[in-house]
Structure 1
Amino acid sequence: MKKTTIDNVTIIDIPKIIDAKRRGNLCVIENEVLPYKAERIYYLFDVPSDASRGGHSHINCHELLVALSGSFDVVVKDGKNQKTITLNKPDKGLLIVDGIWRELDNFSSGAVCLVVASETYSEADYIREYTEFLKSKQ
């Protein structure tokens, strides 16, 4: 696994088109916005405020997380450092590269988390135990 750190986790501005007639805004995520080709798109919703999602790392997959509605916190860890990022704007995405542990919690009522992944689902790409994650970072 690459020696990625939380410094490799970045906020990406998603292009926003503001409607001059005030009919609402439009955001577009095209492959030019991402540093990878999108292979899988999914979303989380109806997550109870006391529930946690994530709790894993990827070996190869990169993911862009976007709060389409509401807000939630993303805790990222690299084995030495950790940072909490609150996502609450649909025109901002959090790019999490491979080799970063992530936990999502503190979901607001009505929160929707969109995930745009660089890989299709493969259980072999997941590290689901934190102790194994720490070993992979050595």
Structure 2
Amino acid sequence: MELLHFPKIEDPRGNLTFLQKPDQIPFEIKRVFWTYDVPGGETRGGHAYREQEEVIIALSGSFDVIIKNANGELDKYSLNRSYYGLYLPALTWRHMENFSTNALSLHLSSTEFEASDYIRKFNLFKKLSLKK
């Protein structure tokens, strides 16, 4: 995991942040999706990917990304600024929680959607992680 810092162009009329490959994102973007209108107390994610790399950005509001290592240890990243992105390499177990009202999360992915890339059982993730 790595917290990426994107440029912030400050202006009295409103700030601007931009992304461009290869300077800021460590992969070619193949898919973009976002989550929004997450009801209070809900979580999103709860899986890992076999191949996909991802960057998660809080475009609006805030939420926490919880990373669970194969040994069960947890790391928490609170995202609440649109000029930060959390880079998650393949084989990273994660879920998102603690969404503020009107939170908007943007996800940049290194692969197109492929259901078989998802690892939805933690025991399988653990087994694959220990092999690498």
Shorter-chain TM-score: what band?
over 0.9
User: Post-superposition shift, 1:44?
Assistant: 0.3
What TM-score comes out, normalization by structure 2 length? 0.93
Number of the residue aligned with 2:27? 36
1:18 counterpart letter in structure 2: E
Amino acid at match of 1:74: V
1:24 aligns with 2:14: yes
Residues 7-32 of structure 1 deviation map (CA, whole Å, 9 limit, x = unaligned): xx01000112112xx11011101112
Alpha carbons 1:66, 1:92 under 8 Å: kept: yes
Q: 1:90 maps to what in 2?
A: 82
The question of whether the paired residues in 2 share the 8 Å contact of 1:78 and 1:99 is answered with: no
Q: Name the counterpart of 1:5.
A: none
Q: Which runs of 4+ in 1 moved over 2 A?
A: none
Q: How many residues align?
A: 128
Q: Secondary structure at the match of 1:136?
A: helix
Deviations along 1:90-111, one digit per CA (max 9) or x if unpaired, are 0000001101100100100010
The DSSP-based 3-state class of the residue aligned with 1:85 is strand
**2:40 aligned to 33, 46, 49, which one?**
49
Q: Which ranges of structure 1 fall in alignment gaps of 5 or more residues?
A: 1-8
Aligned residue in 2 for 1:135: 127
User: Take 2:129 and 2:4, find their aligned partners in 1: how far apart are those partners?
Assistant: 25
How far the C-alpha of 1:137 sits from its partner, in A, is: 1.8
Alignment match, 1:60 = 51
Structure 2: state its 5+ residue gaps: none
For each residue in 1:29-72, what CA deviation from the matched residue of structure 2 results, as whole angstroms up to 9, or x when unmatched?
Answer: 11121110111011000001210000000111111000001100
- Cα drift, residue 135 of structure 1: 1.6
Are the aligned partners of 1:13 and 1:92 in contact in 2 as well (CA < 8 Å)? yes
Q: In structure 2, what is the equivalent of residue 107 of structure 1?
A: 99
Identity %: 35
What TM-score results when the alignment is normalised by the length of structure 1?
0.89
Question: Aligned letter for 2:102?
Answer: G
The AA in structure 1 aligned to 2:86 is L
Distance in 2 between residues matched to 1:70 and 1:27, nearest whole Å: 16
